[in-house]
Amino acid sequence: METESLKNELGSDVSNKLHGGKTSESFVDQDKRTKERQIRFVVERVSLWRKLYNGVELGNGETVRYSLEDSAKLVGISKKSLDDYLL
């Protein structure tokens, strides 16, 4: 591993300072992503989120509009993530 070779080259004191006092095992665990989403999935969810926000027309001519937060709950992804994806 890269952190092990860095630790060997620089010594354990310097390596621990670089990683905030964390061991190499906990440093590697921190880098793992909790969720990985495909681009197609993200594009579809962002599109649906914005469509719900802009308004969905019901069959009787009535339009229902949701807030960004409510739309995000309906889509199933946090508003912050959706904002980040949109940018």
C-alpha 31/C-alpha 23 separation (Å) is: 13
pTM: 0.58
Residue range 40-74, pLDDT digits in tens: 999 999 999 999 999 988 888 899 999 999 999 99
Q: Tell me how far apart the terminal alpha carbons of the chain are, to the nearest angstrom.
A: 34
Using 50, 70 and 90 to split pLDDT, how confident is the model at 32?
low
How far apart CA 87 and CA 77 sit, in angstroms, is 15
Confidence of residue 18 (pLDDT cuts 50, 70, 90): very low
Q: Which domain holds residue 18?
A: 2-31
Instruction: Give how many domains the chain has, as a whole number.
Output: 2
**24 and 48 share one domain:** no
Residue with tokens 């993530």: 81
Residues 10 and 43 in one domain: no
Distance between CA atoms of 83 and 33, rounded to whole angstroms?
A: 19
Is residue 43 domain-shared with residue 27, that is, in the same domain?
no
pLDDT digit string, tens, across residues 70-84: 999 999 999 999 999
The per-residue pLDDT for 5 is 46
pLDDT of 29 reads 52
- Three-state DSSP class for residue 61: coil
